[in-house]
Structure formats: structure tokens, C-alpha cells
Amino acid sequence: MIQSYKKRYKTLTHYDTIVIGSGIGGLTAAAFLSKEGQKVLVLERHYTAGGFTHVFKRKGYEWDVGIHYIGEVQRPNSAIRKMFDYISDSKLEWADMG
């Protein structure tokens, strides 16, 4: 769950792991730890989680700095495909980019 820094919200009094930064690495680590039953807190100073996986705008221009292509996911036995399947409970659908 993503919560705004502008709102008061409840936090647990104990976490097994605290991840600092919500970039792709931080979110991946948090997802793996959470899937293994740990109580995980992800801290992010930016108002949008995701690090360089989102769009940002400056002076009328827009940059999509997110991931555009992930190789090897078409192979069900590749390591990256297995990681995505584990984190998402195999609910992601992949488009072939040729």
C-alpha cells in the first residue's frame, strides 16, 4: 500500500525488514521478503514510488524513464521469468516484442 507523506497513517510497531528506496531493486527486495512472510516497510522520500520506473515532466516536456523491454521473459524457465512469476503469482501477461 502506498501512503502519502501528507497524511497521518498507522504503522506497525515492529517490522522484520525496512527497505530504503522504492526503486525497482527496493520494490523487488520488499516483494520477495513479503512473499516469504516478513513484515516489510518501504521508505521513499519522493512522492511517487518506483524510482526510475515512472514518468516525469519538466517545463512542458515529458520523459518516460521506465523499463521498455525485459529480455528472456518469453522463456518460462529463465531466471527473470521465474522471479516475475513468483512475485506476481504468475498473473503477468507478457507481450512478444519480436
Domain coordinates in residue numbering, the chain: 15-66, 68-98
Ramachandran assignment for 11, one of left (phi > 0), alpha (psi -120 to 50 degrees), beta (any other): beta
Under the banding of pLDDT at 50, 70 and 90, the label for residue 3 is low
Q: What 8-state DSSP symbol labels residue 18? A: E
Q: What is the pLDDT of residues 16-64, one digit of tens each?
A: 999 999 998 999 999 999 999 999 999 998 878 888 787 778 899 988 7
Mean model confidence pLDDT for the chain: 86
**Per-residue three-class SS string for 30-45:** HHHHHHCCCCEEEECC
> Strands, E, within the chain: which ranges?
17-20, 40-43, 55-58, 61-64
